C-alpha cells in the first residue's frame, strides 16, 4: 500500500472545473455533518475511496460484522456547477501525513481542473453559542468580498486553521487554486454540533445556488436540546460560583 492511495469506483467521472468541498471530522464534527448533508441532498455519487498509512491503525466494523479500513470518500455532483465532495472517516494523524494527504487530494483536484476549494469546519469559542455565526478565511480578496455578501464573518477569525480545512486552501494557493474555509461557531464542549453545521449548510446552499432541505439537521438539533440545556445549567452554575467566591489574596514569589 502506498502512503496515500486513491481507488476509483467504476469509471472516472467527466467534470468541468468542479468546486472541491471538504468536510472531514474535526471540531464539533461540523465540517463532516455539513458536507454529508450537502452530499445527501444533492444526491452526490461516490466515485473514489482514499486510503492513507497515516489514518488511525484500526478498521471500521459495520452492521452484520463486516470490517473495512478507515477511508475517506470522493463523490461528485453535476449541476449548474460541478462539485467534488471530500468526506469520510478521518483526517491524517501526523503533520507529515496531513501534507501528503493534502498533496494527493490537490493532485486529483487539479486533474479535474478545479479552480476553487471550500473547506468546512468548526470554530471553538469556549462558551455556549445561541445563534452561531459562520466565520470565514480565504486566500483571495475577491472571494472574501463575495462571501461577505453571503453573511460570512471575516472580522472574528482564528489565529490558525489546523488540518485539511486549512491546508487545502493554503497549499492550493501555491498551485493557483482559490480557497476559503467556512467555520461554524461552536462552544467546543460537544463532540457533535448539528446546530452550527446547519448554519454552514445554509451559507453553502446560497453560495452554490441550490435548495437544501435541513430536516435531518433540524432533527439532530432537536435531539441535542436536553444535552444543551444541561450544559447551560452547568455553565450558569459555574459562573454563579465564580461571582460568589471572595477575591483571592495577592501572592508573591520572591
DSSP 187-199: -S--S--HHHHHH
Whether 223 is in a domain gets the answer: no
Tell me how many domains the chain contains.
1
Domain that holds residue 126: 4-214
CA 64 vs. chain centroid, Å, equals 29
Whether 153 is in a domain gets the answer: yes
Whether 231 is in a domain gets the answer: no
* DSSP calls for 109-123: HHHHT--EEEEEEEE
Whether 105 is in a domain gets the answer: yes
Contact call for residues 102 and 179 (beta carbons, < 8 A): no
Whether 234 is in a domain gets the answer: no
Element spanning 184, H or E: strand 178-186
Distances (CA, A) of 35 to 90, 208, 214, 221: 14, 13, 12, 16
Residue 100 sits in a domain whose CATH number is: 3.40.50.10900
Whether 224 is in a domain gets the answer: no
Model confidence, pTM: 0.89
Whether 159 is in a domain gets the answer: yes
The C-alpha atoms of residue 216 and residue 124 are separated, in whole angstroms, by 23
Whether 173 is in a domain gets the answer: yes
Q: What is the pLDDT along the chain (254 residues), one digit of tens a residue?
A: 899 999 999 889 999 999 999 999 999 999 999 999 999 999 999 999 999 999 999 999 988 999 999 999 999 999 989 999 999 999 999 999 999 999 999 999 999 999 999 999 999 998 888 899 999 999 999 999 999 999 999 998 778 999 999 999 999 999 999 999 999 999 888 889 999 999 999 999 999 999 999 999 989 888 887 776 776 666 555 554 445 555 554 433 43
- Alpha carbon distance, N-terminus to C-terminus of the chain: 59
Distances (CA, A) of 8 to 48, 139, 207, 226: 4, 30, 28, 42
Residue 31 grid cell: 465540517
Amino acid at each position: 500500500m502506498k502512503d496515500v492511495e486513491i481507488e476509483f469506483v467504476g469509471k472516472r467521472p467527466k467534470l468541468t472545473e468542479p468546486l472541491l468541498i471538504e468536510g472531514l471530522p474535526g471540531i464539533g464534527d461540523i465540517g463532516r455533518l455539513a458536507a454529508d448533508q450537502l452530499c445527501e441532498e444533492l444526491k452526490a455519487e461516490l466515485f473514489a475511496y482514499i486510503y492513507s498509512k497515516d489514518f488511525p491503525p484500526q478498521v471500521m466494523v459495520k452492521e452484520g460484522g463486516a470490517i473495512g479500513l478507515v477511508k475517506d470518500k470522493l463523490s461528485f455532483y453535476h449541476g449548474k456547477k460541478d462539485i467534488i465532495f471530500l468526506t469520510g472517516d478521518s483526517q491524517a494523524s501526523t503533520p507529515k501525513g496531513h501534507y501528503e494527504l493534502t498533496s494527493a487530494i490537490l493532485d486529483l483536484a487539479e486533474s479535474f481542473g478545479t479552480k476553487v476549494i471550500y473547506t468546512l469546519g468548526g470554530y471553538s469559542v469556549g462558551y455556549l453559542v445561541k445563534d452561531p455565526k459562520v466565520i470565514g478565511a480565504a486566500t483571495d480578496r475577491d472571494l472574501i468580498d463575495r462571501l461577505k455578501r453571503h453573511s460570512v464573518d471575516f472580522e472574528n477569525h482564528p489565529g490558525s486553521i489546523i488540518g485539511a480545512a486549512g491546508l487545502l486552501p493554503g497549499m492550493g494557493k501555491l498551485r493557483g487554486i482559490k480557497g476559503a474555509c467556512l467555520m461554524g461557531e461552536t462552544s467546543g464542549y460537544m463532540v457533535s454540533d448539528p446546530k452550527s453545521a446547519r448554519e454552514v449548510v445554509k451559507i453553502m446552499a446560497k453560495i452554490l445556488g441550490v435548495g437544501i432541505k435541513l430536516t435531518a439537521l433540524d432533527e439532530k438539533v432537536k435531539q441535542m436540546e436536553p444535552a444543551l440545556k444541561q450544559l447551560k445549567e452547568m455553565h450558569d452554575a459555574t459562573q454563579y460560583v465564580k461571582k460568589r467566591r471572595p477575591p483571592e489574596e495577592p501572592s508573591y514569589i520572591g
